[in-house]
Amino acid sequence: MRKANNLNIVGDNAEPSPGVLSLAEAAFNNKESWGALADRVLDAVAEAYRMDTAQLLAKMNAKAGDANPKRDAWGKVQASPLTLPGLAIAGGAYALDKATGGRSHFQVEDNALQLVDAPLMSAPFTLGNVQIYPEGQGPDTIARSYNGQPMRRGDHEAAHTAQAQRLGGIPMGLLWLRGGGQSARNPVEMDADAYVMSHRSRHR
């Protein structure tokens, strides 16, 4: 796999949108504990899939998870400093949306728990093994890579989950911030695009 700006890892945390802080504030204003929000997330996933943990992990790992189960489990532990706040934000967004009659829903794909049609978000973002997509967008949305090539959005976000698993959540977040966030100058973003393109060429 080619290196992007001397970085070759595979995956990132996300570009927290301006809606993230207001989501957290709304959740606290609604007097819902983060534990209750996490329960609602798990209930939504269980309702959608009715799978045991092993089956759920297998589905998550279909694209970007590590083929070695033990290494993959350890990678998800390393990514957890980003995944845990991602779960809290996704849970808060889901609860808020359902309280106002919204249509957000959870699904498991692209090495992540995905919240689709989330309110108050301006762009998709990934935190550890959690991906959040704003209204009108989803993992199958075709977007442009930083090099201008068409790319499935979920593939780019899956690359970020792989980066977090390999580097760990805190180093991944700091590296992404140091790189300038959502930008073509950020080597973390360019590495995610390179990962997608290299895997696409292998499977042609």
Q: How does DSSP assign 48-91, residue by residue?
A: HH---HHHHHHHHTTSSS-SSHHHHHHHHHHHHHHHHHHHHHHH
Which residues are within 8 A (CB) of 12 and not within 5 positions of it... i.e. 6 or more apart? 126, 159, 160, 163, 164, 172, 175, 176, 188, 189, 191, 192
pLDDT in tens, 149-182: 999 999 999 999 988 988 888 888 888 888 888 8
CB-neighbour burial class of residue 124 (10 A; exposed 0-12, middle 13-18, buried 19+): buried
The fraction of the chain above a pLDDT of 90, given in percent, is: 36
Query: What does pTM read for this prediction?
Result: 0.69
Rounded distance between C-alpha atoms, residue 118 and residue 202, angstroms: 33
The tokens 């989501």 sit on which residue?
A: 23
3-state secondary structure of 165: helix
pLDDT at 166: 85
Q: Are strands 112-118 and 130-134 parallel, antiparallel or unpaired?
A: parallel
pLDDT band at 65, cuts 50/70/90?
A: low
Question: If we measure between CA atoms, which residue out of 112, 119, 150 comes closest to residue 133?
Answer: 119
